[in-house]
Amino acid sequence: MKSSSLFFGVMLAAMSALQAQGLDPRLLGQPPTQAWPTYHGDYSGRRYSTLKQISRANVKDLSLGWVHRLQLGTQGANIGGEGANGPPVDAVESRFGRGLAKATPLMVNGVIYYSAPDNVWAIDARSGEAIWHYFWKTTGGIHIGNRGVGMYGNWLYFETPDDFIVSLDAATGQERWHKKIADVKHDYFATSAPIVIGHHVIVGLGGDSGNEPGWLEARDPDSGEIQWKWFTTPRPGQPGAETWPNAAAMEHGGGMPWAPQTYDPELKLLYVPTGNPSPVQIGDARMGDNLWTESIVALDIETGKLVWYFQCSPHDTHDWDASEVPVLFDAIIDGKPRKLVAQASRNGLFFVLDRITGKALVSTPFVASANWYLGFDKRGEPIPNPAKEPQIGGVLVSPSNGGAANWLPPTYSPDTGLFYVNASETYSLYYRTQKDPNVVGSGGFVENGLGGFSNSLRAINARTGKIRWSHTYAGVRDAAARPERNGGLMSTAGRLVFGGGLSSQVVAYDDTSGKILWHSGLHAPMNNAPITYLLDGVQYVVVGADDSLYAFRLQ
């Protein structure tokens, strides 16, 4: 009884401290050190920390500090939602598959906030002990994953598979409100980590059915009401409409913005990566470039108005969402200081753009196998090769549907000027299964994956697109060689890059050479990205694998 009373008192003290402190919004615009307060660590998408207590010299002494195993279900949880009691079958199965450990943890004021489909947890960042658990009673939807939570003051925000945005009290896990984003009956699903910018909570959306349009929202953090809404395809008469054949094609054209965005506070521009058009692989009914799908777009944060765009895959017919992180950095190009945004896109191409204007400064492949395009136009956008669209007799295409890169985050280090990304060189045969152009979603198409010959961590010169070094992972010559199986990345001023790999390891690499300096086994492949923080003078590195979080520190 005495020990339980003491534990309860400690929990009350921790919750009181949380209520008093909340998240200092200034942390969102700084490289993460004392906190990891947003999905990317800060607004830039660099996933770079200036911490260097863990360094190339001592990383060999890194050891396990704690492990927390995540518990799904309703027992002991705060419960919300509009569905029946208990998790749906696919949510339970995701625990042992792809769904659970996709989120990036947040760490604020000594507490880690973590999410999975229908679940959010608060965990003591020092010990790994649970503080609270929230469970959402779902009405259905695709439980493919959840990428994390957003935070504003004392409040948390997360998206549910059945298309709600939910706000929780960070101290207690009690629900404040929930609002519907879209109708799950129309095959939408929501997986993104909300990004909080000023008095805006940015909410993304997924779905490939082609039943409805795609959009991005800004919501009020206090009430949850919509502030602005930006559609990912134009309406008739608007700029970009000329890239679609008709109003129906635009209205059902896809481009779902399901990945977290980046932001420049000085320019007040939100950089949004958009998804594939619909129908996904058969493009006969949507001839044209199909803006604003497969693009990086810059939106005014206060109005949601489009400022500029760059299309990474015009008229895509291979499901290569351009949903990879638009990474912001500054550098000198051609003797001029530039504000830049870079993306290693799923289609195998690396782009560097002026983030003020959207002008392309670098357009080049980062995998040699990419064979689907004929070159680049005057804007620096790729020119698709029509012969590489799905064919009745099949056509050999690289990369495969999984892409040369995928949604898992890269990292950029200002110490080296290198952009680090997990890359795959893979091939597939793309078959068209019917001549009728009137298909919806992913109909009329079959892919036969042929495997790959290179699955690697690559360091790219961010000013030129040239590969500086590459570390090849073992065991890649099979159809399962997909970049999302290797986990995301993080770099630090300790001159390290942390990542994962197919071998269920967390690994620290030398940032200039790619040499492995340390590794530790996990019970499953790392399917999210590492974070780091300094707490009580101790630097931690935290990673997730399947149903567990692992924290490492120097001993």
| Active-site residue set | 319
Q: Do 326 and 339 contact (CB within 8 A), yes or no?
A: no
CA distances (Å), origin 314, targets 28, 139, 414, 537: 33, 36, 31, 49
Residue in 274, 245, 247, 243 with CA at minimum distance from that of residue 261: 274
Residue 550: helix, strand or coil by DSSP? strand
Q: Do 159 and 188 contact (CB within 8 A), yes or no?
A: no
CA distances (Å), origin 66, targets 6, 125, 143, 462: 21, 9, 28, 36
Residue in 70, 87, 195 with CA at minimum distance from that of residue 141: 87
Q: Do 105 and 540 contact (CB within 8 A), yes or no?
A: no
> DSSP per residue over 29-96, as a string?
GS--SS-B-STTSSTTS--EE---SS-TTTGGGEEEEEEEE---SSTT-EEEESS-SS--HHHHHHTT
Q: Does the CA dihedral 484-401-365-369 come out positive or negative?
A: positive
d(CA 386, CA 519): 44
Residue 20: helix, strand or coil by DSSP? helix
Contacts 24+ apart (CB under 8 A), 332-337: 332/463, 333/361, 333/463
Which amino acid is present at 68?
H
441-458 exposure pattern, b = at least 16 Cβ within 10 A, e = fewer: bbebbebebeebebbbbb
Give Cα 173 to chain centroid, integer Å. Answer: 24
CA distances (Å), origin 427, targets 368, 389, 414, 501: 12, 14, 33, 20
d(CA 114, CA 204): 18
Q: Do 272 and 244 contact (CB within 8 A), yes or no?
A: no
Residues 6 or more apart from 541 whose CB is under 8 A from it? 54, 62, 490, 498, 506, 530, 531, 532, 551, 552, 553
60, with CB counted inside 10 A (0-12, 13-18, 19+), is: exposed
d(CA 335, CA 319): 38
The residue count of the chain comes to 555
Name the H helices within 484-535: none
